[in-house]
């Protein structure tokens, strides 16, 4: 994983689980955009409220596209009704504006060869959200 601009202390969310231990390590590295952490947590909370289960993160950093910029995460959707997946996507898009190119959006249900999943992203102009140190993403302590 290449270096990132963001280097924050991260606390695990009770609403998220990871497909692999490597993904959990990536999440805990604090290298992702703080706005993405906020949205991953919101997505996990919505999933738990609506399915009774934690959301599964299936991909974080990888070498292609926006995933290589520490600004995207993928979530499992194959275990839930497609109708509910669409609600999840819609809720994320009406709740979170995408700060970037017109026509792009925060959440996208799609299949890129590995099965249908929910892609979550923050744009290049996403502001750094103000989050209390005691919450999910805080300033790194030295």
Least Å distance, CB 67 to Zn ion, is: 6
Residue nearer to Zn ion on the CB measure, 2 or 132 = 2
Residue nearer to Zn ion on the CB measure, 108 or 131 = 108
Least Å distance, CB 93 to Zn ion, is: 15
* Window of 9-17, 33-41, 46-54, 111-119 that interacts with Zn ion by CB under 5 A: 111-119
Tokens representing 123? 């744009």
Tokens representing 80? 């839930």
Residue nearer to Zn ion on the CB measure, 17 or 131 = 17
Residue nearer to Zn ion on the CB measure, 15 or 61 = 61
Tokens representing 115? 């099965």
**Residue number with the shortest CB distance to Zn ion?**
119
Alpha carbon distance 116, 93 (integer Å) = 18
Least Å distance, CB 14 to Zn ion, is: 23
Q: How far apart are the first and last CA of the chain?
A: 22
Name residue, tokens 């819609």.
90
* Sign of the C-alpha dihedral computed for residues 132, 133, 134 and 135 taken in this order: positive
* Residue 74 binds Zn ion (CB under 5 A): yes
Phi, psi dihedrals of residue 63, rounded to the nearest 5° = -75, -5
* Residue 119 binds Zn ion (CB under 5 A): yes
């Amino acid at each position: 994983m290449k270096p990132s601009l963001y280097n924050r202390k991260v606390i695990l969310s009770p609403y998220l689980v990871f497909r692999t231990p490597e993904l959990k390590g990536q999440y805990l590295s604090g290298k992702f955009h703080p706005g993405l952490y906020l949205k991953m947590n919101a997505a996990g909370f919505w999933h738990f409220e609506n399915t009774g289960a934690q959301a599964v993160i299936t991909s974080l950093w990888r070498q292609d596209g926006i995933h290589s910029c520490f600004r995207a995460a993928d979530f499992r959707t194959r275990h839930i009704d497609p109708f509910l997946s669409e609600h999840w996507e819609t809720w994320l898009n009406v709740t979170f504006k995408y700060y970037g190119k017109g026509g792009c959006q925060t959440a996208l249900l799609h299949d890129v060869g590995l099965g249908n999943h929910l892609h979550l992203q923050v744009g290049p102009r996403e502001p750094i959200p103000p989050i209390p140190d005691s919450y999910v993403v805080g300033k790194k302590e030295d």
